[in-house]
A and B are shown apart, each in its own frame.
Chain A
Amino acid sequence: MGNLSRKLASDGCVILAVGLLGCASNTGTSGETHFLCGNTDECRAHGSNLVCAQGECVDERSIGAGGSGGGTATSLEGVWDVVGSTVGYPSTSMVVTLSPTSLLIDNEGGFLHATRQGELWAVDSSYTIRSRVSDLLGRADRHFPATRTSPVDADLGVIPLPLLGDWTIGNEQDCTGTFGDGSISGGCGPVGPGPEWAPDLDEGSVTATRMETRSSVFGTLGGAWTVTSTKGVACQVTIHDATIMGTCGSASRFAGAFTLQYDQDVVHGSTSNGLEFTAQRR
C-alpha cells in the first residue's frame, strides 16, 4: 500500500498530461498561414480571402463563427479554464492562454510561460519533479530559450501557434526537435527529470510518424500516427475531424486509451483509467 498514495498522486497529474497532450499538439504546430497583422491590408498580401482578426490573418469565411471568450470557433486562441481529475481532492483546475505569440499554463502546482519574439521563445517554468534517489517530490524552476529554425509552411487548422520547423530548446546539448508535416521527433541530453505529467525525455527521444492522413480541424496533423519513445512509450493516435483518440501500450504509465474532443468553446476528454478533463474558453 506504500506506493498507493504516490501512484494516485501521480495519476492525478496524468489527466493534466492528457490535457496538455492536446495542448502540446496544439502548441507544437502551426504553419506560416498564420501571419501576424495590424490590419487587413497586410493580410491581403498573403491571400485575397484573408482578413486581420485579433492580430492574425484568418480566412474571412471563418469570421462570424466566433466563440464567446476572445477566440473563434476556428481557433483555439483564447483563455481556457481547465478542470481535471485528481484523487482525494476535488477536481483541480488550470488556466491555459493560447495566442500566436504566447502559451501560458498556470495551475496550482506550477506554471509554464512561453512567449514569442520572432522565432525565439522565452520559456519560464516551475513544476514538481520526483527525485530518482529518494522518490521525494521537489520543485524545479527553469528558464530557457527555445528557437525555431527552418520554419515549415503548413496548415494547422485551429492551432494558433506557428511552431512547425526545427527546434533547439536550451542549448544544443539540451533538447532538439523537428515538427514536420507528417513526422514529429525530439530528444534530450542529460537534462534531468521533467514534469511528472510529461514523458521522460531525459537522455531519451520520442518519434511520431503519420501513417495515413485524415481530414481534421487540426489541419495537417489529421491522420493516424504511431508514437514511440526510447523510454517505452508506444501509442497509436488518430486525429480525425475535431477528435484526437488513441491507445498506448502497457509498458508505460500512459497505458490505456484516451479521447480528446474540441467543440468550439469546449475541449473535453477522458482516459480508460477513469481520468477526465474539460476545458471551457472564457
Chain B
Amino acid sequence: MKAPGTAAIPRRGVLGLLALGTVAAAARSAYPVARARPDPDGPRLRITNGAAPVRTEALPALWLALASTPPERRAAFLDDLEAAFVSAAARANPLLVDVLDLDPEAVLDEARPWLLPLCTAASSLLAPTHVSADGFAVEVLSPSTTPSPDDVPAWSADDAGPARRARFLAWPVARALVVRGPANGLLGSLDDALGRSSLDPGGSVALVLSAPALRGNGDPRIATVLRRLSDGASRMHATGDVLRAASIPERGGDLVPWIALAENERLVVPKLGAIAPRARFPDEVRRIASAHGAAIVGGAG
C-alpha cells in the first residue's frame, strides 16, 4: 500500500477544469507518481458540525459495485440486463415481437439480495461526507488536505467519544482493510475467495477493489450497460435515484482519493450489516487472506 499522490483531481471539481483534469488523470494513469509511505492510522476524518450539505453529486456506486463483483456473476447479470433491454425495446416497437418477455426492473429486483449490499458499501465509500440527522458531519480528507490536530485517524485503535462516532458514520473508510498478496501479483485465488464472501448472504465482505478499479478502469461492458440503464430511466422520467446510481466514473480518475493501492493489493470493504460484531469482518478477511498467501497490511483490523 502506498499513500495517495498529492495531485489528485477533486471529484467535485469546477466544470472549467474538467478538460485539464482529464489530461492530468490520463497522465497519472500512464506514469504513476512516486508516493510516500502510508500512515498506519489510515486516512484522516474531519468532524464538521453544521448544516448538512445537499447530496446532489452522482456517485458511480453501481459501477464500482459491479467492478468488484466476481466476473462470472457480473457477466451473468449484465447478460440478463442486456437481454431485458432488448426485450423491453421489442415490446415498445409495434414492428417487433418480444419473445423474451424480460423486464430490466425484474432483473434488478432479482439481483438485489447480492447487489444491494455491494451498492450500499460502494456509495458510502465514494461519499466525501457522512452526515448524521443532528448535523454531526464527517468529511473524509484527501491526503492533500492540510492536517488539523483535531482530525480523527480512521484506523486508530482509540475508539471513544466523537472519534468513535465519526468512525461509525464513515464506516466504509474506518472498517476497510488493505490486503496484500504475493509480490508476483497472482491474486486470482484470493480475489475468488473474497468474491465468494461478497456474494454469500452470510459473508462479511462487500467490495474487493483493485488499483485499476479505483481509477475507474474496469470491464467495459459495465459502462455500456449502465449507459443503457441510464438512458432507459431518462426516457421513462425516472427520478434521480437510478440516474445517480448508474453514473459512470471517468477512466483514470481517482474514485477514492485517500488510498492508493499497489498492483498486488486489494481494498476490502465490509457489508454494512457485517461491521458488528467488530471482529467478524477482519477475522473472515484474515482467514481468507492467510489461506491464499496474503495478509492484512492496513486498516483497523
Q: B132 near A276 (CB under 8 angstroms)? A: no
CA distance A108 to B129 in the complex (A): 14
A83 within 8 A of B: yes
CA distance A11 to B108 in the complex (A): 13
A279 → chain B closest CB, angstroms: 9
Q: How many residues belonging to B are interface residues under a CB distance threshold of 8 Å?
A: 53
- A1 and B238 in contact, given A89-B123, A93-B130, A275-B116 (Cβ under 8 angstroms): yes
Q: A81 near B168 (CB under 8 angstroms)? A: yes
Q: B239 near A90 (CB under 8 angstroms)? A: no
- A4 and B116 in contact, given A81-B169, A266-B277 (Cβ under 8 angstroms): no
- Which of B171, B244, B276 is in CB contact (< 8 Å) with A89? B244
Residues of A within 8 A of B131 (CB): 93, 108
Residues of B within 8 A of A106 (CB): 133-134
User: B48-71: which residues lie under 8 A (CB-CB) from chain A?
Assistant: 52, 55, 59, 61
A228 within 8 A of B: no
CA distance A272 to B202 in the complex (A): 11
- Which of A7, A95, A107, A269 is in CB contact (< 8 Å) with B273? A269
Write out, one digit per residue, whether chain B residues 116-142 have a CB within 8 A of any chain A CB (1) or not (0).
Answer: 110110011011001111100000000
B215 → chain A closest CB, angstroms: 21
B160 within 8 A of A: yes
Could you tell me the dominant secondary structure of chain B's interface residues? helix
Write out, one digit per residue, whether chain A residues 255-282 have a CB within 8 A of any chain B CB (1) or not (0).
Answer: 0000000010010111011111110101
- A280 and B168 in contact, given A93-B130, A106-B133 (Cβ under 8 angstroms): yes
- A88 and B238 in contact, given A83-B171, A93-B133 (Cβ under 8 angstroms): no
- Which of B112, B115, B233, B276 is in CB contact (< 8 Å) with A278? B276
Residues of A within 8 A of B237 (CB): 2
B165 within 8 A of A: yes
User: A3-49: which residues lie under 8 A (CB-CB) from chain B?
Assistant: 3-9, 11
A94 within 8 A of B: yes
CA distance A84 to B275 in the complex (A): 12
Residues of A within 8 A of B171 (CB): 83, 91, 278
User: B84-126: which residues lie under 8 A (CB-CB) from chain A?
Assistant: 88, 104-105, 108-109, 112-117, 119-120, 123-124, 126
A122 within 8 A of B: no
A97 → chain B closest CB, angstroms: 10
Q: B115 near A90 (CB under 8 angstroms)? A: no
Cβ-Cβ contact count across A and B, 8 Å cutoff: 144
Q: B133 near A85 (CB under 8 angstroms)? A: no
Q: How many residues belonging to A are interface residues under a CB distance threshold of 8 Å?
A: 42
Q: A277 near B168 (CB under 8 angstroms)? A: no
CA distance A96 to B65 in the complex (A): 30
Q: A90 near B165 (CB under 8 angstroms)? A: no
A87 within 8 A of B: yes
Q: B272 near A4 (CB under 8 angstroms)? A: no
A230 within 8 A of B: no
Q: A95 near B104 (CB under 8 angstroms)? A: no
Q: B244 near A94 (CB under 8 angstroms)? A: no
- A68 and B160 in contact, given A263-B277, A269-B273 (Cβ under 8 angstroms): yes
CA distance A3 to B241 in the complex (A): 11
User: A193-242: which residues lie under 8 A (CB-CB) from chain B?
Assistant: none
Q: B133 near A276 (CB under 8 angstroms)? A: no
- A5 and B169 in contact, given A89-B244, A90-B124, A270-B273 (Cβ under 8 angstroms): no
User: A81-118: which residues lie under 8 A (CB-CB) from chain B?
Assistant: 81, 83-91, 93-95, 106-108, 111
Q: B133 near A268 (CB under 8 angstroms)? A: no
Residues of A within 8 A of B275 (CB): 268, 278
CA distance A272 to B164 in the complex (A): 29
30 CB-based A-B contacts, threshold 8 Å: A1-B88, A1-B105, A1-B236, A1-B242, A3-B105, A4-B238, A4-B242, A5-B241, A68-B160, A68-B164, A83-B124, A85-B116, A85-B117, A85-B272, A87-B245, A88-B61, A88-B241, A89-B241, A90-B124, A91-B120, A91-B123, A94-B133, A263-B277, A268-B274, A269-B273, A273-B116, A274-B113, A275-B116, A277-B272, A278-B171
B residues in contact (CB < 8 Å) with A: 52, 55, 59, 61, 88, 104-105, 108-109, 112-117, 119-120, 123-124, 126-127, 130-134, 160, 164-165, 168-169, 171, 201, 232-233, 235-245, 271-277
* Additional A-B contact list (20), CB under 8 Å, known A85-B120, A276-B120: A1-B105, A1-B235, A4-B108, A8-B242, A83-B168, A87-B241, A88-B242, A90-B123, A90-B127, A90-B130, A91-B124, A108-B131, A263-B276, A268-B275, A273-B116, A274-B115, A274-B116, A276-B117, A278-B272, A278-B276
